[in-house]
Amino acid sequence: MLLLLLTPCLAVNLASPATKVGRPLGSRTDFPILHQEVWDGRPLVYLDSAATSQKPSSVIDAMRSHLERDNANVHRGAHLLAARSTESYEGARTALAEFVNANSRDEIVFTRGATEAINLVAQSWGAANLCEGDEVILTVMEHHSNLVPWQQLAAQRGVVLKFARLNASECLDLPHLTSLVSNRTKLISVAHVSNMLGCVAPVKEIVAAARGVGALVMLDACQSLPHMPVDVQALGVDFIAASGHKMLGPTGIGFLWGKHSILCEMPPWQGGGEMIDQVSLFSSTYMPPPARFEAGTPAITEAIGLAAAVRYLSDIGMEKVQAHEERLSTYLYSRMSELPELRLYGPDPRLGHPRAALCSFTSNQVHATDLATFLDQDGVAIRSGHHCTQPLHTELGLAASARASLYIYNTEEDVDALIASLRSTLDMFAELDS
Cβ atoms of residues 346 and 198 within 8 Å: yes
Residue 94 reports pLDDT greater than 60: yes
Percent pLDDT > 70 in the chain is 94
Note the pLDDT of residue 22. Answer: 53
**Given the residues 9, 171, 264, 388, the one annotated as active site:** 388
In CATH terms, the fold of domain 17-47+317-433 is: Aspartate Aminotransferase, domain 1 (3.90.1150)
How is residue 426 annotated by DSSP?
H
Question: What average pLDDT does the segment 158-178 reach?
Answer: 98
* Res 226 pLDDT > 60: yes
Q: Which CATH number fits domain 59-314: 3.40.640.10, 2.60.120.380, 3.60.20.10, 3.40.1670.10?
A: 3.40.640.10
Indicate if 171 belongs to the active site. no
CB atoms within 10 A of CB 327: 17
Output the pLDDT for position 434.
Answer: 73
Question: What local confidence, expressed as pLDDT, does residue 23 receive?
Answer: 63
Q: Where are the domains of the chain?
A: 17-47+317-433, 59-314
Model confidence at 8: pLDDT above 90: no
Q: For residues 34 and 54, is the Cβ–Cβ distance under 8 A?
A: yes
Secondary structure element (H or E) that encloses residue 154, with its range: helix 148-157
Average pLDDT over residues 380-393: 98
Q: Is 14 a residue whose pLDDT tops 50?
A: no
> For the chain, give me the number of helices (H) and strands (E)?
14, 17
pLDDT at position 405 is: 98
